[in-house]
Amino acid sequence: MKITWHGHANVEIGCRTGFKVLVDPMFAPHITGAKAADARPDLVLVTHGHDDHVGDTVAIGAPVVANFEISNYLGRKGLKATGMNIGGRYVAAPGIVIAMTFAAHSSGIQDDQTGLFDGQGGNPCGYVIDDGEHRVYHAGDTGLFGDMKHVIRELYRPDIALLPIGGHYTMGEQEAAIATEWLGVDHVIPIHYNTAPLIVAAPLSFKRMVEERSKAQVHIPKADETLVF
Ligand code: NI
Ligand code: MN
């Protein structure tokens, strides 16, 4: 499995079969050099309705999976959108199974024209993407919650986790270090930090906190760097 971090929560997952999944594709010049126009995913996953996660989904134009409400919204924008909900699994392609997981956050969709939230974004979520070799958990935006320890760890058995560490809107470094222990993953990659003034975090202090609590290996990719697992 190849994992490429495009900054913030935007992560590309190259599955064992070559199937390419892009989660929360917000591309912006100030984040990394990557451009939405160069993204060629087979499938986009959206974790919730906020702008920094729906991002460039419409411009990219690939098939998308999201919660029921966001999939309806994106369907009206002309995308091939598949709605699902927390607890469900979706076979995206032969050998690629995607589970939608709980997230403790909000999910209002911001209207393109008015900038106001229409309140129709359903519930936020995370995803576990299983390519038959690795199972990567993208937590989306979330606070720490106990089912990381039980439902997500016991049912989906992720070995790689992508966790927000920026705080303020999501878990910070300490909560994400506890999440890493609870999930029982072998590898963790911090995301959703240092892209706005309120979400400043130190990935190296997150790394130290993880090392105090678990044997998980912390990977801190540079912008657009690909990690191979
Ligand atoms: Ni959010
Ligand atoms: Mn966010």
Encoded tokens for 220: 């801190």
- CB atoms within 5 A of ion ligand 2 belong to 52, 141
**190-210 average pLDDT score:** 97
**What is the Cα gyration radius of the chain?**
16
**201-212 average pLDDT score:** 98
> β-strand 187-191 against 226-228: which pairing, if any?
unpaired
- H helix or E strand, kind and range, residue 127: strand 125-130
Q: State pTM to two decimals.
A: 0.97
**187-204 average pLDDT score:** 96
Among 214, 222, 103, which Cα is nearest to 164's? 103
Residue 44 has a pLDDT of 98
Ligand 2 center to 192 CA (angstroms): 7
Among 128, 110, 133, which Cα is nearest to 65's? 128
Ligand 2 center to 1 CA (angstroms): 25
Confidence class for position 119, pLDDT limits 50, 70, 90: low
Asked whether the predicted pLDDT for residue 35 surpasses 70, the reply is yes
Rounded to whole angstroms, the maximal C-alpha distance in the chain is: 48
At 14 the three-state DSSP class reads strand
Residue 32 has a pLDDT of 87
- CB atoms within 5 A of ion ligand 1 belong to 50, 141
Residue 115 has a pLDDT of 67
- H helix or E strand, kind and range, residue 180: helix 173-183
Encoded tokens for 224: 């657009």
Residue 52 has a pLDDT of 94
Residue 33 has a pLDDT of 87
